[in-house]
Amino acid sequence: MKVGFIGVGAMGSAMASNLLKAGHEVTVWNRSPEATQPLASLGAKVARTPDRAVLGDAVFSVLSNDQAVRDVFITDGLLDAMDKGIVHVNHATISVALAKELAEEHARRELDYVAAPVFGRPDVAAAGKLQILAAGRAHVIDRVRPLLEAMGSRIWPLGDEPPRANVVKIAGNFMLGAAIESMAEASALARAHGVSAADFLEVMTSTLFATPAYQGYARLIAEQRYKPAGFALPLGYKDIGLALSAADATRVPLPLASLLHDTLLEALSAGDEDVDWSVMAQVAARRAHLDERKL
């Protein structure tokens, strides 16, 4: 199939590379052109302007936040440049409000649209093992299913309304943040009583919490390995903000999300943004003054 790809940062590049490996014709565009070079070396065409990447069977977009999505597709008019027969598959983690607006804007232009945020870090994306949420009309999802299958190990259909996939993604990231915060605080408690974070978390992730999410983040916390960031701190802060905004819109109390928001903000205030959001463990240790104690 002839595929366009908008946004080739760490996630987008890994995903687009799997489309190339599956034999699809891929044209990529990125605001920073240098990011397209690794894909060009794999056989991708590089578009100088985004409108040249929306002329095939499908276009995938992996942009960082609401503003980037709005700027490219609405403000800069990319939706108006899209072929009527193309399917836009949006992988961005965006607000529910923008998700609804995008669905309406596509419908108004009679463009096919699928919201398909993913669970998985860049290494998972590179391995083609993403968990892909997909919401949109069933026959439209079926048209791009072979492309999605080239990038993920499972596709989770969530109904005809695209915002459904976005709210599941936001809620899922909220749960991940809660898991990290609980490990951060519990590790600080264990350390204060002379048990290393590594020993404590090995027990927990081998018994009560023997799941990939806990195990992956536990390793980062135990090793204090927050660079390179698999999921950068500002993105985590942004996603918890999205959860709170979605909750406000429907009057759903999320007291734990408010706690996470403050913890992430405290981490950001330390001044180092190029770290993984599991750096919340440092916040918990700092609150307990662990580095000042003789344990």
Q: Which residues are identified as catalytic? A: 169
Reading the block at residue 194, the tokens are 């002379």
Residue with tokens 């026959």: 139
**Rg over CA atoms, the chain:** 20
What are the start-end ranges of the H helices in the chain? 10-21, 37-41, 66-69, 78-81, 96-108, 122-126, 138-151, 163-192, 197-206, 212-223, 233-250, 255-269, 280-287
Task: Please report the DSSP string for 215-238 in residue order.
Answer: HHHHHHHHHT---S-SSBHHHHHH
Reading the block at residue 187, the tokens are 């590790």
DSSP 9: S
Spatial CA neighbour of 169 closest among 207, 130, 143, 200: 130
Cβ atoms of 143 and 87 within 8 Å: the answer is: yes
d(CA 83, CA 106): 12
